[in-house]
Amino acid sequence: MRSVGNLLSPGGRRARLTILIYHRVLTHPDPLLSDEYDRESFAWQVRLLAEHFNVLGLTEAIERMNRGSLPSRAVCLTFDDGYLDNVENALPILMKHKVRATFFISSGFLDGSCMWNDVLIESVRQAEGQHLDLTGCGLEIYPIATPEERGQAVQSLLNAIKYLEPAERQRKIDQILAQSGATRSRDLMVRPDHIRRLAQAGMEIGGHTVTHPILTRITPQAARSEIADGKEALEGIIREPVRLFAYPNGVPGRDYSDEHVKMVKDLGFKAAVSTAPGAATTLSQPYQLPRFDSWASTPTRFTLHLLQNYTRTSSDVV
């Protein structure tokens, strides 16, 4: 493994950096969150990374990449949004293996509220019966007789709603919540003391806006406020500068534009990450670094995905 990794990702000036994306680390597998890792699977991933790759904090990795001193098989771990299970499940595993990760947190949910997609997921989870009739919301009738059907309903609804205008999307979510008879979860996201705990454990805290909007779907003024206010809120919590940023949803040209890249730079961030796949190199744009979202059920598949990612550079995809 190491010899292949050294060939695909040598150290020094020719080094390539894979930045992994995570969102949640569940206590147990969840059929409605089939693309999220649970605690057991995350544990073997971190162990594999610590034993066979060179895992660095994102700030250190970027600095070393710019200096041409990045080691071979370089990897960073990042988490988006700010879920409480990052602290409860992921943090102990990271600390056990002495791995430093970066947590990009949307500051608007620190009061016990949650993101629109989680309201949707819980609405489908809690809905009774074999079908969820959302024709009154301008949507469809979704089979929910089995966990698999509920998972399919979640994915269909997420795809149907994600790119609506924010006000219209929220209206749909409120309608779905009412139709399903569900209640909103109050314990999904971190609170300020959790963020301080992450920082005190040596983890990096990064900005991810206030309310996680798709930046191209809101006005430039609103986008700048989302980025700036999120940064300010996190800095007030950890009492340190927040220098890293992750674009919500993160697809270049679709979810954010060059205008938003300039905003991030002007607001004092030193680097930013997207969700374009591939490995970063010295030629990568520092405010549009690629990240890799690998879903793999076994260590062998996970390793193969990592090695394959080194063969794609950001210039191929951005």
For residues 139 and 164, state if they share a domain: yes
For residues 218 and 108, state if they share a domain: yes
For residues 104 and 253, state if they share a domain: yes
Average pLDDT, the chain: 93
| 249-263: average pLDDT | 97
For residues 302 and 217, state if they share a domain: yes
Q: Residue 149's domain spans which residues?
A: 116-180
> Is the per-residue pLDDT at 318 higher than 50?
no
CA distances from 171 to 58, 139, 182, 186, 189 (A): 37, 13, 16, 20, 22
CA distance 42 to 33: 15
Burial class (CB in 10 A: 0-12, 13-18, 19+), 190: buried
Sign of CA dihedral 46, 48, 52, 53: negative
Q: What is the pTM of this model?
A: 0.94
For residues 77 and 204, state if they share a domain: yes
For residues 104 and 197, state if they share a domain: yes
For residues 195 and 234, state if they share a domain: yes
- The domain boundary, picked from 138, 157, 180, lies at 180
User: Is 54 inside any structural domain?
Assistant: yes
For residues 165 and 275, state if they share a domain: no
- At 278 the pLDDT is 94
pLDDT tens, residue by residue, 3-23: 665 566 667 888 899 999 999
- At 3 the pLDDT is 66
Domain count along the chain = 2
User: Is 185 inside any structural domain?
Assistant: no
User: Is 87 inside any structural domain?
Assistant: yes
| 206-212: average pLDDT | 97
For residues 39 and 103, state if they share a domain: yes
- At 191 the pLDDT is 97
For residues 83 and 157, state if they share a domain: no
For residues 59 and 121, state if they share a domain: no
pLDDT tens, residue by residue, 224-248: 999 999 999 999 999 999 999 999 9
For residues 131 and 256, state if they share a domain: no
pLDDT tens, residue by residue, 62-114: 999 999 999 999 999 999 999 999 999 999 999 999 999 999 999 999 999 99
